[in-house]
Structure 1
Amino acid sequence: MELTLLGTGAPAGLPRPGCPCAACATAVGADARAATALLVDDVLLLDLTPGPALAAARAGRTLHGVRQLLLSHPHDGPAQEVPPGLPAPVRVADGRRLTLISGHRVRAVALDAPGTGYEIGGPDGERLLYLPPGAGPAGLPGSPLREGAPGAPYAPAAPYSLVLLDVLGRPDALARLRAAGAVGPTTDVLAVHIDHGVPPGPELRRRLAAAGARTVPDGTTAVVGDYRAVPDLPRRTLVLGGARSGKSAEAERRLAAFPGVLYVATGGTRDGDAEWADRVAAHRSRRPASWRTAETCDLVPLLTAPDAPPLLIDCLSLWLTDAMDSAGCWDEDRRRSGEAARALAGRTAELVAAFRAATRTVVAVSNEVGSGVVPATAAGRLFRDELGRLNAAVAAECEHVLLVTAGTALPLRG
C-alpha cells in the first residue's frame, strides 16, 4: 500500500496566513505545509488540501483514479475546492465499514473529539490508522466515548504498520494507542496536522523523535510497512536547567506520548507552606491524568525495577537535599570527622549505580546551579559543589543530556 502525503499541516496550513509568529516566519521551503491530505494507492483520498490536483502533480501523482474521497473533520471557512472528476466528499458514520473495488477496506473509527478516524487495510494486508487534528480514538483508557458517539470501545486487532495523527497536539492519544497495542515497536508514527506551536526544523524533529515519531515534507510518498527506522528512544535522559527555565515541562513533554508513566516527586509535602502547595498543584495540573505519582527519595528500587513503565524523576537536587540531611552534612562534628562525606558518597554511588543498571526508560530533572553567583555561605557552597558532582556522575550514565535555558532545550549529548 502506497501513501502520498499531499499536505501535512494543520487545517489553516503552515505558515498560517497573516500570522507574524516566529514559527510561521521560519516555515519556508520544505518546512512550509499545506493542510493535511493523504492519497492512498491513487484510488482513495483522505481529506482535501488547497489545490489538491496541483499538490498531487507536484508529488508526481494524479487524482484521475480516485474512487473515494473521505473527510475526517469539520471544516470552517470557505467551501473546499473539489476538482472536477472527483467523487463527492463524504464523512462515514462511526463504525461503518467500506470495501472499495480496489480491494481496500475502510473502517470509520469513533473519536473523543468531533470528526472521524479511518482505519485503512490494503490489498497486501498492511494496515494504517489516520486521525484528524486534535483527536484520539474513543474508548481508549482515559478517553471515554464522546457524547452521542455510537459503537463499542476502540480495540485494534494488532499493531498498525503506520499511524498518522496530531502527535504534537495530542501526545496523550499516542500514549493511549500504545497502551491499547495499536502502536507497537515497529509502527511508523507520522506526525501530521502540524501547526505553529513548535518552530519547524531541528526543534520539531527533536520533539517528535522524543515521542517516537517523525514527520516528512509535503509530497512524500511512503510504502506502508517498509519503514523500520523508528527513532531510537534513549533509555536514560538527564534534563538540566536553572530556575523557571522550563526543564520540568521539557521532561514531562518527553514522556507525554507514553503510557503508564510514574512521576516521582522528591520534594514531598511541606505542612503550612501555601506557596509550595501552589507549586505542586501547578506541576500536577500539567501531567496527563493517566500518570501515577509517588512522593519519595528512595529512587534505587524504582530505577532498578525490571520491565517497568517509564519513570520521571523531578528532581535530583531535592533528592540531594534529603541525602545531605540524612548523611548529617550540616552537623559540624560529622562534617569535620569525614563521616558525613563518606555517608553522602555512599548514597550517591548507589544512585549512580542504579542509573547504570536501569532497564526502564528514565527521564531525570536536576538544577544547574554552577553558573551563577558563588553562594555567600559555606553550606550553600557545599550544596552547589555536591550537586555539580552528582549531575556530572548521573550524566555519565545517560545516553541523552539536555540543558534547558529560556524554555529552549539544547542537546549536550545524544
Structure 2
Amino acid sequence: MELTLLGTGTPEGLPRPGCPCATCALSVGPAARAATAVLVDGALLLDLTPGAVLAGARAGHSLSGVRQVLLTHPHDGPAVELPPGLPAAGRVPDGRELAVISGHRVRAVPMDAPGTGYEVTGPDGARLLYLPPGGAPAGLGSGAGGQLPYDVVLADVPGRPEALARLRASGAVGPATDVIAVHLDHDTPPGRELERRCAAVGARTVPDGTTVVVGEYRALPQVPRRTLVLGGARSGKSYEAERRLAPFPEVVYVATSGSRDGDAEWAQRVGLHRERRPASWRTVETCELVPLLEDGDGPPLLVDCLALWLTDAMDRAGAWDDSVWETGGRTELRERTGALVAAVRATRRTVVFVSNEVGAGVVPATTSGRRFRDELGRLNNAVAAECEHALLIVAGQALILKP
C-alpha cells in the first residue's frame, strides 16, 4: 500500500486565513500545510479538499486513477468543487463496509465526535486507520479482544492524544505501527517543537506531499523509557510531563505531595491537577518509589515530584536539624537517595519524573534551606544521569538537555 499525504493540516489549513498567532506566522513556505487529504494507491481519495489536483501533481501523482472519494467530516465552509473526472464524494455509514473496484476494502469506524473514521485494507493486506479531525474511535475493546495492530495510523495526535491511548489499549497500535500526525492546527508550534512533541508519544510528522510506502523499513520514534522533566515554579513542567503520557492507557500518577489537612489552597492545587489528567489514570499518593520502580510489569509511571519526595526523605532522616545531620542524618539521607537512584537505573517501566530546578534562584537564608537546595541539585544530577531523556521547561518552552 502506498499513501500520499496531499495535505496534513487542519480543515482550515495552516496558516489559518487571517490568523495573527505566532504559529500561523511561522507556518509559511515549506512549513505551510493544506487541509488533510490522503491518496491511497492512486485509487482511493480520503477527504476532498481545495486544490487536491494541484497537490497531487506537486507530489508527482495524478488523480485520474481515483475510483472512490470518501469524506470523513462535514465541511463548514463552502462546498468543495469536484474536479472533473473524479467520482462523486460520499461517506460510508458507521460499521458498514465498502469494496472498491481497485481491490481495497473500506470499513467505517464509529467516532466519539462528528465524523467518520476509515479502516482501509489494501489488496496486499496492509491496513490503514484514518481518523477525522478531533475524532477518536468509539467502542473499542481491550487488547484481549484480539485486535490486530494497524500498519499505519493517521490521526490528530496533538489534538486528541486519548485517541492514541484507546488504540494502544485495544491493541490496534503496536510497537511497529507507524503513527503519523495529521489535521495539524495552530495550537502546537511548528517545526522542531511539533516534531519533539510527536516523537515523545511515538508518532511523527511529515510534510505535505510525502509518500509513505507501507512496510518499507524506517526507524520509528522510540518513546524514552526514563525521562526527567525539570523546571521552576509555574514553568509548565507538570503539564509537559502529563502531555507526554496522555496517549498511553493506564498511567499511574504518583503524587509525592500527600495530603495537607486544613490547607484549602493546597487542596485546590491538587484538584486542578486531577481535573486535567485523563480519567483512565490511577493516582497513588506515596513517597515509596522504589517498590513501584521495581515492578517491571506495571503501566507507565508519572512521578510528581522529586522535590517533595526529597522533603519527605529529609523529614524521615531528621536532616533539617544541624546536629542530627552531622550525627547520622546525612548518611541516612544519602542511603535513601542512593536506593532511589539505583531503582531508577534498574527499572524496566516507562517513567517520567518531575522535579524542581532550584539552582538559579535566590540563595536560601537558612542552613536547612541551603541544605535542601544542595541535596535536590545532587538528586537531580543523579536521576538525570540514569535517564535516557531530560529536558528543562522555561516559560512553557522545552530546552532539551539529553536528546
| TM-score grouping bracket, smaller chain normalisation | over 0.9
2:35 match: 35
In 1, the alpha carbon distance for the partners of 2:146 and 2:60 equals 33
What's the TM-score, normalizing by structure 1? Answer: 0.95
Instruction: Give, as a single letter, the amino acid of the residue that structure 2 aligns with 1:55.
Output: A
Q: TM-score, normalised by structure 2?
A: 0.98
Contact 1:127–1:161 (Cα < 8 Å) also in 2? yes
Q: Which residue of 2 aligns with 1:112?
A: 112
Following TM superposition, by how much is the alpha carbon of 1:332 offset from its aligned partner in structure 2, in angstroms? 3.9
Q: Contact 1:241–1:404 (CA<8 Å) still a contact in 2?
A: yes
Checking the alignment, whether the CA contact within 8 Å between 2:255 and 2:304 is kept in structure 1 is: yes
Residue 410 of structure 1: which of 390, 395, 399 is its match?
A: 399
Equivalents in 2 of 1:271, 1:324: separation in Å?
A: 20
Taking only the aligned residue pairs, the percentage that are identical comes to 73
Q: For each residue in 1:44-66, what CA deviation from the matched residue of structure 2 results, as whole angstroms up to 9, or x when unmatched?
A: 00002211111111111011111
Q: Give the deviation of 1:156 after TM superposition.
A: 7.0
User: 2:372 — aligned with what?
Assistant: 383
Shift of residue 280, structure 1, vs aligned partner: 0.2
For 1:298, the equivalent position in structure 2 comes to: 288
Of 190, 194, 198, the residue aligned with 2:184 is: 194
Q: Deviations over 1:258-282 (max 9, x none)?
A: 1111000000110000000000001
Pair 1:86 & 2:86 matched: yes
Deviation of the 1:140 alpha carbon: 2.8
Contact kept? 2:252, 2:281, Cα under 8 Å? yes
Tell me if structure 1 keeps the 8 A contact 2:6–2:36.
Answer: yes
Cα distance in 1 between the residues matched to 2:179 and 2:146 = 16
Aligned pair in 2 of structure 1 residues 141, 367: CA closer, same or farther (>3 Å)? Answer: farther
8 Å CA contact 1:6–1:49 kept in 2: the answer is no
Residue 311 and residue 141 in structure 1: after superposition, are their counterparts in 2 closer, same or farther (change >3 A)?
Answer: farther
Distance in structure 2 (CA, Å) of the matches to 1:272 and 1:287: 24
Give the equivalent residue in structure 2 for 1:310.
300
| Other-structure match for 2:125 | 125
> Within the alignment, does 1:401 sit opposite 2:387 as a pair?
no
CA distance in 2, matches of 1:244, 1:384: 18
Task: Kindly provide the amino acid, as one letter, of the partner of residue 241 in structure 2.
Answer: A
In the alignment, is residue 325 of structure 1 matched against residue 315 of structure 2?
yes
Aligned to 1:151: none
2: CA distance, partners of 1:23 / 1:228: 29
Aligned match of 1:281 in 271, 276, 290?
271
Alignment partners' CA distance in 2, 1:135 and 1:386: 46
| Equivalent residue letter for 1:296 | T
Task: For 1:399 and 1:186, locate their aligned partners in 2 and report how far apart those are by CA, in whole Å.
Answer: 21
Once the two structures are TM-superposed, the CA of residue 30 in structure 1 deviates from its matched residue by 2.0
Task: Give the unaligned 5+ runs of structure 1.
Answer: 143-154
Q: Determine which of 173, 180, 203 is the counterpart of 1:183.
A: 173
Task: Give the equivalent residue in structure 2 for 1:164.
Answer: 154
Aligned residue for 1:45?
45
Report if aligned partners of 2:147, 2:170 keep a CA contact under 8 Å in 1.
no
SS at match of 2:222: coil
Query: Structure 1 residues 101, 141: closer, same or farther in 2, change over 3 A?
Result: closer
Kindly provide the CA deviation profile for residues 303-339 of structure 1, in whole angstroms up to 9, marking residues without a partner as x: 11112211000000000000000001123431232x0
Equivalent in the alignment of 2:99: 99
Residue 141 of structure 1: CA displacement?
Answer: 6.1
1:206 matched to 2:196: yes
Deviation, 1:230, is 1.2
Residue 331 of structure 2 is matched in structure 1 by 342
Unaligned runs of 5+ in 2: none
Contact residue 48 and residue 89 of structure 2 kept, 8 A: no
Q: 1:223 aligns with which of 208, 213, 225?
A: 213
Q: Residue 225 of structure 1: CA displacement?
A: 2.2
Asked if 1 retains the 8 angstrom alpha-carbon contact of 2:321 and 2:368, the reply is no
Letter in 1 for 2:126: E
- Tell me which amino acid in the other structure corresponds to 2:130: Y
Does the 8 Å contact 1:186/1:228 carry over to 2? no
Separation (CA, whole Å) in 2 of partners of 1:285 and 1:185: 30
Distance 2:325 2:8 in 1: 61
What displacement does 1:84 show? 1.2
Contact 1:162–1:225 (8 Å) recurs in 2: no
CA distance in 1, matches of 2:196, 2:215: 23
How far did 1:286 drift? Answer: 1.0
User: Which ranges of 4 or more aligned residues in structure 1 deviate by more than 6 Å?
Assistant: none
Name 1:234's counterpart in structure 2.
Answer: 224
Range with greater deviation from structure 2 (360-369 or 220-229) = 220-229
Q: Which residue of 2 aligns with 1:149?
A: none
Distance 1:195 1:391 in 2: 35
Q: Deviations along 1:99-122, whole A, 9 cap, x unmatched? A: 111110000011111111000000
Q: Is the 8 A contact 1:45 1:69 kept in 2?
A: yes
Distance in 2 (CA, whole Å) between partners of 1:37 and 1:103 is: 20
Match of 1:269? 259
User: Hey, what's the Cα distance between the residues in 1 that align with 2:247 and 2:42?
Assistant: 32
- Residue 227 (structure 1) shift: 4.2
Aligned residues: 403
Superposition RMSD on alpha carbons, in Å? 1.4
CA distance in 2, matches of 1:207, 1:227: 23
SS in 2 for 1:396: helix
Deviations 1:157-183 (A, max 9, x none): 410000000000010110110010000
1:23 paired to 2:23: yes
